[in-house]
Amino acid sequence: MTMELALPKYTEIPGVGLFLEQVAKYINEVLSPLGEAELTGSMISNYVKKKLLDNPVKKQYSRDQIAYLIFIAIAKNVLSLEDIRTMIVLQKEKCDAKTAYEYFSTEFASILHAVFDNQNVAVQPSLSASRQLAQKVSIAVAYKVYLDQTFREMKETAG
């Protein structure tokens, strides 16, 4: 079983403002290999209302906001919105959105690959507490994606 997911690099995320439905479509295309990480316009609006990300400027979402939404779409599979908010607040105290996104996207891809290759995955104790937390979220999501795909394949084989 394999998982082919390549999250865009921060600089590959559209830098021109995207409107709500464009953001949802873009993120859904990026995350389609994960299966159920689907976002809708109303979900995104709800994340803005709940202060998980800043209000769009002139109804357009920036690269930073799209990066946060990619993280939210992935993390919401294993975390509550309140826990996601806590992680974002902690991250903003330590670094900018670009640095945080690049770290998370690289770690998530590496961990996802390891899980699908049946390799041991361990949190690196030398990392800061916030990076360890990001790694643990990546590990939890990777195993959930693996289990979801395994059960999907079992149902298809049995059906």
- Write down how long the chain is: 159
pLDDT at 31: 94
pLDDT at 46: 97
pLDDT at 37: 63
Q: List the domain boundaries for the chain.
A: 10-158
Contact status, residue 65 vs residue 14, Cβ threshold 8 Å: no
pTM of the predicted model, to two decimals?
0.94
pLDDT at 4: 78
Q: Which two tokens stand for residue 42?
A: 């109303």
Burial of 139 (0-12, 13-18, 19+ CB in 10 A): buried
pLDDT per position as a tens digit, 96-126: 999 999 999 999 999 999 999 999 998 888 9
Residue with tokens 């330590």: 94
- Mean pLDDT by groups of 10 residues along the chain of 159 residues: 86 95 96 85 96 95 97 95 95 94 95 94 86 93 94 89
Q: Which residue blocks in the chain are alpha helix, DSSP H?
A: 20-31, 41-49, 63-75, 81-94, 97-116, 129-158
Given CATH 1.10.1660, say whether it is the number of domain 10-158: yes
What's 19's DSSP letter? E
Name the amino acid, one letter, at 139.
I
Could you give the percent of the chain with pLDDT greater than 90?
83
Relative to beta strand 60-61, strand 18-19 is: antiparallel
Rounded to whole angstroms, how far apart are CA atoms 80 and 51?
A: 14
CA atoms within 13 A on the CB side of 111: 23
